[in-house]
Structure 1
Amino acid sequence: MNGGPSGFNNAPITRAFVISCVIFTLVFGIQARSNNLGISYQDIFQKLKLWKLVVSVFAFSSTPELMFGAYLLYYFRVFERQISSNKHSVFILFSLSVSLLLEFLAVALLKDPSLNSLTSGPYWLIFSAFVPFFFDIPISTRFRVSGLRFSDKTFIYLAGLQLLLSSWKRSIIPGICGILAGSLYRLNFFYIRRLKFPEFIASFFSRLSLPSVGSTSSAVPTRNVLGNVPSYAAGRQVEVNHPTPVSSTPEPPEDSIATLVSMGFDRSSARQALVHARNDINTATNILLESQSH
């Protein structure tokens, strides 16, 4: 289980976020300031060090945490592919807002001197993503080691556990707050799952770096010849005016099929959806999700 094809195909928001985490961690680690980046009530509300709040959102406090955190963020790119970049942006913003609020409340209520500051890094996003990972990602393989049962999801949980316990209470609290934020999003708190950012948000992040190798998104603009009309609608319009034999549709790429399978869809259904969507993976995902809702 690897979250679909390698690279950040159809996941520009995740790509930008991972790059930001690496840069912030390296910069502040070189300056030997990483241990002072933890969020504290005094810094934010009394000393008004808002820069510290921004940096603590991205920068991990150590190299091992960066390695485990970046790996989990990279794997969880599958959720951006599943719900689209515009909705994933809402998920990120909602997880950040709710987690920070819960963290400040926890520190204020516990009044523990050892919790003067919580560990830095995107724990809020990583552990929010564990909620859909638990409910929505199916187990594809199971195996035994010394009589113990494991699955391909076990390694993701172990990486998360390592990150959760990396700084004991200073990291456990942000992790728990992230899980609560992810649960509220899944429960559609305030109908948050209906919201999405404008299309230009994803387009902006897509232009920040070169397209991933083998990305299917580069072919979308050439198919969408009707401007702002979605690609699947454009395809239907072309079929009405200029009927095309079904056999002319190219065979769906294996990486696109693998992406849909990694989301939990059946391989045969994924292939058929891609054929109907003219190999547009975003449209194929919508077709499969709509078929499940009926």
Structure 2
Amino acid sequence: MQTAGPSGFYNVPTTKLLILFVGTCSVLASILDLKPIFHLQLSPHVTLHHQFWRLLTSHCAFTNSGELFFGLLIIYSMRIIERQYGSAKYAAFLFITLWVSTFLELGALVSGAKLGFRRIPGGPYALVFSMLYQYHRIIPATYRFRIFGATLNDKMFLYAPALQMMISQSFATIVPCICGMMAGALYRSDVGNVKKWRFPRYVRNAASRVSDASLASGPIPRSSTTMPTTARSSEILTTAANLRNRRSNAGTNNARARATNTADVREYIDTLTGRGASAEVQPPPEEDVQILMSMFPDHPRETIMRAFSAGHNNMNRAVEIMLSTPAPVGSSSNDGAGTTSGSNNRP
């Protein structure tokens, strides 16, 4: 499956809150027999009984365990989008696409009434497929493979359960999924500068305090071991001993081969110890450095440069390294606000 940086919920409080909310609502709806209140139907619920709250509750809970499992799996995998956007922009994106997809679903119910389409089942289908649209447009494939002559990539491992969700209840689930993709496309096209909208600052500050207190997750500890495995150490020592023996007996014809082997061993040892990397890797573009500094304001410039050096100037790799790098002691780390300013420069 597509890699999404560090595992777990580090720096993704919005994804963590969404998974907890949808999972809790789905379980309570099943235990308390409340599934009938989560589907969306114009007549008689909205037009006659004026149950307008169904416009929101229809996105809160899945009504069966299979769709709940696949839905939470996809939402968890979409944490890579939150790390690309930043928590503030990601929360604004979810809010905007929620309302846009709801109005699209209402239009589909009105226009499809004569064709027999009168009901949308409960579940955040639109939100899931709006996230998947951003994933399709932003995240590149890591590898490709062939099955029975067809070329596929690693993203199919998310598209397959998404397809199962879409066709699970025929048109009842196909319609909200299409509405979600349309809402994601409208957000991606930046109609009316919707990408620049954010919740008010006081709302973001309050949400940050709550997330720091109850939703914050620490980074996965990284190993500080720089020595190779025992088998590899023996191989290096054997190679070094052979080089010393060849140096004493070799002539002119073997000089070039000895130099090549010595360079290989030196390159491997330099890679383990970190020596010589700065001389071979070109400095990253200043624009990328500024983007990472705005995404991680609690870290000094030297830490940003080391991340670029370790990631060979690859922007995505540098972001992954910084996400797993704890903030310096004494700095105030903010999961949401720390990536807000940098998110405007990301797609």
TM range, normalised to the smaller chain? 0.7 to 0.9
5+ long unaligned stretches in structure 1: 217-229, 240-245
Residue 173 (structure 1) shift: 0.5
Whichever residue aligns with residue 26 of structure 2, its letter is: T
The answer on whether the counterparts of 2:220 and 2:324 sit within 8 Å (CA) in structure 1 is no
Query: Residues 266, 127 of structure 1: CA spacing in aligned structure 2 closer, same or farther, 3 A cutoff?
Result: closer
- Within 1, Cα distance between the matches of 2:183 and 2:173? 16
- Within 1, Cα distance between the matches of 2:171 and 2:61? 18
TM-score w.r.t. the length of structure 1 is 0.75
- Within 2, Cα distance between the matches of 1:31 and 1:113? 33
Output aligned runs, 1:57-76, within 5 Å: 57-76=59-78
Q: 1:267 aligns with which of 300, 305, 317?
A: 317
Whichever residue aligns with residue 102 of structure 1, its letter is: L
Give the match for residue 168 of structure 1: 170
Output aligned runs, 1:227-246, within 5 Å: 246=302
Output aligned runs, 1:89-128, within 5 Å: 89-112=91-114, 114-128=116-130
Whichever residue aligns with residue 267 of structure 1, its letter is: R
Residue 7 (structure 1) shift: 1.3
RMSD: 3.8
- Within 1, Cα distance between the matches of 2:340 and 2:88? 15
Whichever residue aligns with residue 167 of structure 1, its letter is: Q
The answer on whether the counterparts of 1:38 and 1:56 sit within 8 Å (CA) in structure 2 is yes
Give the match for residue 212 of structure 1: 217
- Within 1, Cα distance between the matches of 2:139 and 2:206? 26
The answer on whether the counterparts of 1:82 and 1:285 sit within 8 Å (CA) in structure 2 is no
Which has more radius of gyration? 2
Whichever residue aligns with residue 24 of structure 1, its letter is: C
Residue 232 (structure 1) shift: 5.9
TM-score w.r.t. the length of structure 2 is 0.64
Q: Percent identity?
A: 27
Give the match for residue 84 of structure 1: 86
Output aligned runs, 1:152-167, within 5 Å: 152-167=154-169
User: In the comparison of the two structures, how many residue pairs are matched?
Assistant: 262
Structure 1, residues 137-191: CA drift from partner, whole Å, max 9, x if none?
0011111223332211011111111111111100010000000000000010110
- 1:104 is paired with a residue of what secondary structure? helix
5+ long unaligned stretches in structure 2: 222-293
- Within 1, Cα distance between the matches of 2:297 and 2:12? 23
- Within 2, Cα distance between the matches of 1:90 and 1:288? 12
Residue 233 (structure 1) shift: 6.0
- Within 2, Cα distance between the matches of 1:269 and 1:214? 13
- 1:92 is paired with a residue of what secondary structure? helix
